[in-house]
Structure 1
């Protein structure tokens, strides 16, 4: 499509935390002519220049339909991902891995010139927790015991082969840290804390202590800032991986300041044992394997995104967390099936 007529972009997983921000960012961009948002359920959400279609990536029959939906697109942004059930890794594998492979195949079959894939810091092998962090050349073998990391790493290997087979397709891999915004707070509370975890309890007056765990240091980014990087990946002639993260890195001291809570050193094994018991009893959806991975994830060097995408986050990591916590307390959400607001407790 010519620059004069604008670009057509298809977004999978368009109703989730990242998808809603990406769709709105694309819709607001002058060089984007149209957006097609794909999701398992068509939302009530509206955005200019945007149409919707229902697609379930876990279904084998959808490959041909994906090819038809991608036909004529200038770029496909692949965001679709299923976090639950953590007790059913075969279920998440069908959507996250097999579904992604169908997307990749359909991009090639439809002749789409650019594929922007949502990878993650979770794809990286364990690494240093010190700044400036690792660059995009750090190994992406993930933490094998965590399904999320295992699936992200597997897709990195699949894309290595894919790029060799399809050198005409411009493949971009976005590797962000943890992404938060107020509109996704209810969904993220359900995913990681459980449907019935009372959001109003997450306030300074009721959380007097933050545990200081060995390895608890990670990076956060506001989802809307990540969406700007996705837009630039569509507009610019770039390839390869880009780390995305905000500053400062978040540790127990930062969380203690945000929650006005005392930081207390706690043995990692004690916290893991409690989480493992709760997960084993189906009382907590977040698995102890993901807990292990988080404590091993490296910090990210975002220099390449700054220089090649001309990208800088507009909000600090603490601002993103504060917005998320406000959303959890208020039961905030957006008009899409995954993000609908709900105030438990």
Structure 2
């Protein structure tokens, strides 16, 4: 199910597609007959842009998730799997690894994090009222793949970002901060984790990430760059200022999320799912950067290469500023 159906290309032709806006008031009633008889509902829908329209994001992310859960219960589907995130966790260590029982209060400065916290709280209530329903939450780090290059550039960098300069595979200057340490995972490995959840009988949360931890030193080696120390306040201020001016599409909450989110232990995924990533985090990052340079995409609406969408230079020419309008 998707709000906008993909074209009938080879990538999408073998799947039965249904169109639904999960944030619409009647979404639960529309979804329930579609998912009736399914073995599981895998809820991946999430909206990151337009970042200047917070009510719209809340409508899709929080209200939409409530509608998906309601439809799952109405239809009697035995399992609900939710795409959560490292962003659900409270600020934590960058030199140790937290397990799935770490506090889930999020990073308050980030609307993305707050929404993930609200949805996990909603799932707690659903579990309490429907103990027969198998509820699973996957909490990955950053998810990278080549085909997402255009999408991620549009959602997180904006039209002013010189993606063409990445073709040499080099980023000469990188911002450095002692807490700018994050985990990543390849999209194919995340898909493998979902498959193992669906084919098994597990419940609860699973952290999903690959080694090594990405920090300025690791990134500098991978892209032959030099880290320049930058205080956190400067990183936040630069993001906030450029976001308010509509120069780029992400607010300072994403900086806070990067600086405050803890590192995750994936021991439970290894022990109970038998999951281990096939791609390391550096190769996944290299693949993404190559995809951004090549403007890699697919025919689906989120991964579209349409040059006039918000977040692309053609969109800017037509007055579609970063963080505004619908980039999907």
How far apart in 1 are the matches of 2:159 and 2:196? Answer: 35
Q: Is 1:137 aligned to 2:137, yes or no? A: no
* Residue 268 (structure 1) shift: 2.0
Aligned to 1:247: 211
Deviations along 1:90-140, whole A, 9 cap, x unmatched? Answer: 110000000000000000000000000011000000011124x10000011
How far apart in 1 are the matches of 2:284 and 2:61? Answer: 26
How far apart in 2 are the matches of 1:228 and 1:197? Answer: 32
Q: Is 1:57 aligned to 2:29, yes or no? A: no
How far apart in 2 are the matches of 1:341 and 1:253? Answer: 32
* Residue 226 (structure 1) shift: 0.4
Unaligned runs of 5+ in 1: 1-37
Tell me if structure 1 keeps the 8 A contact 2:170–2:225.
Answer: no
Tell me if structure 1 keeps the 8 A contact 2:150–2:296.
Answer: yes
Secondary structure at 1:224's aligned position in 2?
helix
Secondary structure at 2:291's aligned position in 1?
helix
* Residue 267 (structure 1) shift: 1.9
How far apart in 2 are the matches of 1:113 and 1:208? Answer: 51
Q: Is 1:66 aligned to 2:48, yes or no? A: no
Q: What does residue range 322-337 of structure 1 map to in structure 2 within 5 Å? A: 322-337=286-301
How far apart in 2 are the matches of 1:137 and 1:129? Answer: 17
Q: How many residues align?
A: 307
* Residue 53 (structure 1) shift: 1.0
CA gap 1:227/1:104 in 2 versus in 1, 3 angstroms:
same
TM-score by length of 1: 0.86
Aligned to 2:6: 43
Tell me if structure 2 keeps the 8 A contact 1:275–1:288.
Answer: yes
How far apart in 1 are the matches of 2:264 and 2:133? Answer: 26
Deviations along 1:57-115, whole A, 9 cap, x unmatched? Answer: 12112211100111000100000000012111111000000000000000000000000
Match of 1:98 among 58, 63, 84: 63
Match of 2:172 among 194, 208, 217: 208
How far apart in 2 are the matches of 1:151 and 1:121? Answer: 12
How far apart in 1 are the matches of 2:219 and 2:79? Answer: 39
Tell me if structure 2 keeps the 8 A contact 1:120–1:177.
Answer: yes
Aligned to 1:222: 186
Secondary structure at 2:16's aligned position in 1?
strand
How far apart in 2 are the matches of 1:172 and 1:104? Answer: 12
Give the CA RMSD over aligned residues. 1.5
Secondary structure at 2:6's aligned position in 1?
coil
Match of 1:158 among 102, 105, 122: 122
Aligned to 1:176: 140
Deviations along 1:146-166, whole A, 9 cap, x unmatched? Answer: 110000001111111110100
